[in-house]
Amino acid sequence: MGSRVLLVRHGQSEWNAQGRWQGQADPPLTDAGRAQARAVARAIGGVDAIFSSDLRRAAETAQIVSDALGVGPVIVDPALRERDAGAWSGLTRDEIRERFPGYLPDDHHRVFAPSRTVPRRPPGWEPDGSVLDRALAALGRIHAVVGDGDALAVTHGGVIYVLEDHLGEPFARLANGGGRWFEVDGERVTLGERILLVDDDGAPVTVPTEI
């Protein structure tokens, strides 16, 4: 049967709210992000274990869910952290276009998939293959813990996008507090459905356009 793993994008961070690319920088959640984390807890029901990236926007989201559900402790796996955005970390789209002209596509195209025509990346940008390898390794470790159970893993948009692309899913932006189910059986990983766990009832729906 295998595991069902819900990978969820963390709540809104301070840099999400400012439109800044984060990568592996470590800004905290906003109050809206904490409200989104509480909405995630209300929406998902029960899970057998909760995992998280080691970046605090994800770890705090996971801890809020853990406290609400009484499931824990949160298991931190650094392999779930966001892609390293290199020299783009901390910059807005306008700043990227100013400092790296011609690098950034318009908002209707993605910058993640090696199988598509993409612009150049900045110095320090982590390639898709590296993100994919560590994401798949993390899913394998989650499967080893929960067996045939269900797990929540709080991670980042870039990680989910790379896994979706690897499994043939067209790119679509993911909201804070949105997620994708994956089924993991040994080394076999298949796509489940995408879900939005935040519905504007006490928590805003925010969709970052950066990583």
| Residue pLDDT, tens place only, 52-68 | 999 999 999 999 999 99
Asked if pLDDT for residue 177 goes beyond 50, the answer is yes
pLDDT of res. 193: 97
pLDDT of the residue at 136: 98
| Rg of the chain in Å (alpha carbons) | 16
183 touches 2 (CB < 8 A): yes
Taking each helix axis from N to C end, the angle separating 31-44 and 56-69, rounded to the nearest 10 degrees, works out to 40
Distance CA 21, CA 96 (A): 9
The pTM assigned to this predicted structure is 0.93
Residues annotated as catalytic (active site), given as ranges: 10, 82
Whole-number pLDDT of residue 119 = 60
For tokens 């853990």, what's the residue? 66
Q: What is the DSSP string of 101-118?
A: TTTS--TTS-S--TTS--
d(CA 152, CA 36): 15
- Residue 201: which pLDDT band, with cuts at 50, 70 and 90? confident
The answer to whether residue 34 scores a pLDDT higher than 50 is yes
For the chain, domains (ranges, CATH) are 3-83+127-196 (3.40.50.1240)
pLDDT for residue 202: 79
The tens digit of pLDDT for each residue in 65-121 reads 999 999 999 999 999 999 999 999 999 999 999 999 988 865 434 554 444 555 689
